[in-house]
Structure 1
Amino acid sequence: MICPIHPGKKINVICIEPHGCQKKLCSECQYYHGGDTKQYLPFQRVLNKLKLKSEEFQLYKQQLKEKFTFPDLIKQIDYQLIGVWKDLRESFQKINEGIEDQDIIYLNLMNSGLSPSEYSYSDLEILINILQTDELNNWNKSKSHYFNQSQQATLMLKSEVEKLQQFITEQFQGVLAYKKQQEYDGFLDAKSKSTKTKCQIIYTKFNEIQYKCNGEILQTIIIYDLLNKPQIIKNLDVLKHVHWKGELGNDYKKVGLWTAEWMDTKQIVSCGSYSQNGMKYGYWIEMVKDYFQEMNLLEVGEYVNNLRQGTWKYCYNFEYMYQF
C-alpha cells in the first residue's frame, strides 16, 4: 500500500499508540512522527498479536461458558414450568372429565327408554339406588365438593402466579427492560415544569442505553446492573449537561469519591463517597430534585447505608440557607 502523504513510499508499519495519528505509516512518516520505535509494528507483528489476543479471548469466553450456565438454567426452568403446568392442566381436565362421565352414566341410565327387564343386573342395581336411596343427592354433594376444591386450587394457583409475576417484575427490572423502549414525560424548564416533552430510553446494545428527546441523544451510558431498571431523569437540562466522574469496583459498583460537573462551566453540582458495596455513606452534596443551573440550589447531609440520615440543609453556591 502506497503512502498518500509521501508518494512512492510504501506503508510498512502501524502505530499502536492510542493517540489521534494516521496509524498507517511509511518510513518517512515515522521520521516526522517521532516517538519510541517500539510503538511501530510491522503488519505481520500486528496480525500475530491480534491472533494471540483472539486466542486469549476465545479461551476466556469458553471459561465463562463453563462457569456461568445461566442460558441452560433458563431452559431448565422453562421446561420445569412447562412440565408442571402441563401436569396441572391435565389433572384438572381429568377431574372434570371424570365428573362429566359419571353424570352421563346416570343420565343415560335414566333416559335410555329401556324396559327394566332389559337392563343388566349392575345397571338395574344403580337404577334402584337412584329410586330408593339418596344416590343422586350424594353424587351432587360429591360433585359440589370436587368443584369447590378445584376452584380453591385454581384461585390459590392464580394468587401464586400473580406473586411470581410481581416478584419477577420487581427483582428483574433491568433484565425485563431490554425487551422494550421506555417512554416518559421530561421537562425542559425546571423552574416552571411547564414545557413537557416526550422522552425515550432506548437499548442500542445489550449493555448500552440512550436517553433521547425530540430525536436528540441527550446521553449515552453503559449499564452494568441487570437487576434494576435504568434511572428516569425527567430534568432534561441535568440529563444533557451533568457528567459524573468516579471509579467502579471489581463488580462494577460505584466506589470511592464521585463528583458531578455541569459540563459547560465545570462547576461541581454533586459529590460524595460510595462504600466498597456501592452504598452511599458520609456527607454528600446533591442537586435538588428540580435543579436548574442558574440558581445552583443544592442539598447537604449525611448518608448511612445508602439512606439519608439526620438533618439536611439547603445551600446556594455552597452557602447554607436553611434546614429541613
Structure 2
Amino acid sequence: MRKKFSFLSENIDFRRVNTQGQQALNNMKQLPSLQKCFFKPKIALTLQFFVYILIQFSSSLCEQIFYQMIENNMYCFDHIENKILNVCIADHQCQRKLCQDCAHNQQVSSEQLIPITNFPDFILRKMQNLVDANLQQTFQLKKKMTEIQKLLEKLGEQFQKCLSDSQKQIQEILNQINNGDQNYLRLLNYYIKPSEISSIDLELIIRSIHQKKLEQWIIDKKSFLNPITDMQCSIEQHFRDYLTTISEQLKVLLQLNVKIKENKNKNWQEGKIETKGIENNFNLWSLEYQVQKTSLTIEYNNDSEIIYIKDGVKLKKETIKNKLKSFNVIRSLDQIKCLEWSIRDDYNLNYEKCTALYTGEFFQAGGIQTKEGIKIGQWIDLSENFNKSSVTFYKGNYNQDKKVGVWDILIKDIIIGCGVYDDYGSKNGLWVDLHQNFSNNCKILQIGQYQSGKKVAKWEIYYNNLIIGGGMYNKGSKVGKWITLHENFQNSCLVTYSGEYQGRKFGRWDIIYQNEIIGGGLYDRKGQKMGKWIDVHENFFDYCFVLYEGEYVGGKKQGVWNLFMHENQIQTKLGEGNYNKFGQKQGKWVEPFDNFFKGGKIIFIGEYDNGIKIGQWLTYFQEQENQFQQIGGGSYDQNGLKVGIWKDLYEYFNYRSQIIYEGEYQNGTKHRRWKIWYNKFKQNDYQEIGAGEYDKDGMKHGQWIDFMEELSCRDSIYAVEYHHGEIQQKNKLHDLFD
C-alpha cells in the first residue's frame, strides 16, 4: 500500500523498506553530488527526514507512521512543554492537574499535592468504604420499594389509579437513586486512570470530597427510608377503612421524588466551574487571527447535561450519554458556538451515525458509535483546535472507543502528519504531531518517537518547514539542551525558550524573540526560578512587547516587579507592584489588561491583599499618543468579588472596538440592568448602544439590545429575547461600525 504524504512542501511516496537506512545515509553523505545538499537546509531537511524513516522502520512496519497532537491530558494546558506531575487537592478552584511551573505559580503546599500516579490510591482510600455503604443503603431502599410495590398490587381494581401513579413515582425514585449511585461508581470504574480525567472533572471530584457529598448522599438516602416505611405501615393498617387517607399518604412519593430530583448530593459532578477556553480572534491591528485565552463557565446539572456559558449566555448544551466514560469538554469557543453533531439513530438498532456540522454546513467528519457513545470503526475526528482558520482532522479507526492502528492528520484532504496507536490505544513509533497552536497560517509540527504512549529519544519542532526547537526525551521526561515554544507561539509571537533540562528546568534559560535574547534567568536544581528574571507578558506578540522584571526566591516572586513596554525600539515603564514573602501580590499595583497591545493600551490601578484584589480598582486607556484616561472600574470586597456599580471593558477592547458594559454586581455576579456603551475612534463621546437584565443567577433574561461578535469579523447589534441565558429569538439590527 502506498501512502501520499505532504510535508515540508515535498511529496513523498512511502513504500516498504528494509533496515539498511543508516548505511544508506552514510553512503549518501560520501557522494560528491549529494554533499552540497546537506548544506542546503530545505533539501537536507527532506533527505534527513526521509532517511530517518528508513532507519526507524522495518519493512513490516513501514506503513505505520506519524500522527496528531500532544498526548491528551498528559501535558499542561498552560505550559505545553511540561508534563503533568501532580493533582492539587486543596479546597479551592484551580485546574487541578499541575505541572512543575503551575505548582510554583499557584504556591500550592506539598501537602496539597498528590503525585498523579498515586491519585487512584487516594480516591480509593477516600471513597471505597463510602461507596460500599452507599450500595448497602441503595439495597435497603430498593428492598423497601419492592415491598411497597407488592402491597399496592393487593389493593385491586378499587386502587387501580392510585397503584398506577405510585408505580410510576417509585420507578422514577429508583431511577433517580441509580442515577446518583452511578455518579459515584464512575469514580471507581473509570477514574482509576487519572491521566484520562479532564481538569473540569478533577475539580469537581476534589470539590465533592471536601464538601463530603457522598457521605451526605448516604445520609440522605437513609432519611428516605423513614417516610417510605411510615407510609407502608399506614397503608397496611388502614387501607380497608381509610381509602382517602391512603391516597393522601401516597402523595409522599411525589414529594420524595421532587426532593431527590433537587438533592444536590446525588451527583458529585453537579456545579459550575470557571475556566479558560481558547478563541481564534481577528486582530484588526495586525490583520491576522490570533489564538487567545478567554473566560468560560462550565455547568454540570442533575439532568446529566453539560452547559457552556459565557457572560450570562448559554452557548451550548450537551447530554452525557455514558457516565462511566470521561466526557470530552470543549475548550475552543469557535467549536462551542458553531459545531453541532447530526445523530441518525436509525442506522442500526444498536448503533448511530454521527456527522459534524460547522456553521450549519456538513463536514466530512464523524463515524459510527453505540447508543452509549462508544466509537467503533473508521472515524474522522475534528482536531482539538478546529476552527475557521485551522480546518484540521484526524482520520483512523476505533476499537471500543480506543484509537488503534494508523491515524492520519489532514488539512481538508491533504495529509500533513500521521502515526500509529497500539492495541491499548497508546501512541507508538515515529510520529508527526500537530502543535497545540497549529493553524492554516501557522504550521507547527513536532516529529519524534513514542514508546507505549511516552515520548522518547529526539523530538524536533518545525515551523514553516524549518526546525526551530526540540530536544531529547528519556522515558517521557525532557533531558539535556532544549528549545521550547512560548505558550502562544504563532506568526506574530515568534518567542522561544532555550535552556537545559535535568528532569526539570535547570541553570540558565533565555527567552528569544526574532533571534534576539529579550529575557530569561536561572533555575535551581529543584526547577524553581531564582534571582533576577525578565519574563514576557502571557499574551506577548509583535504589538504587545511587554516584559516583567524582578526577583525570584525559591520559585516565588519577591519584592518590587516592574513592567515595561517596548515600542519603536523605545522602552517605557508601564507599571509596577510588590510581592510579599509568600509570592502573592500585595499593596498598590499598576498592571496591564490581559489583552493589552499597541492598539489597546489599557492598565488597571488598585490594591491587592495577599493576592486578592480589594477595594477600588480603576481602568485607564491610552488612545494613540494621548495621556491615559479613566474609562472604567469599580470595587472588590474582601474576598476579591466584584460588588456594586462597575464599568467593565469588552474582552477585546481596542481603539476600534471601544465597548464598555455598565451595571451592578452582587457577590461577583452580574445583577439587574446593564447598559452597553460604545465610543467611535477619537470622538471621546460614549453612546448607549444596548441594554438588558441579568437574573439572580447572573444569566441574561428578557428583552436585550445586545452586542454580538460574528464569524465574518463584523460586530453587530441584535434584538434578542433571552430566557435564563438561552436565546429564544434574535434579529440583527445593524453592524456596529456602519
TM-score, length basis structure 2: 0.21
Q: Of Structure 1 and Structure 2, which has the larger fraction of its residues in strand?
A: 2
Tell which has more relative contact order, 1 or 2 (C-alpha 8 A, sep 6+). Answer: 2
TM-score (norm 1): 0.44
Larger Rg: 1
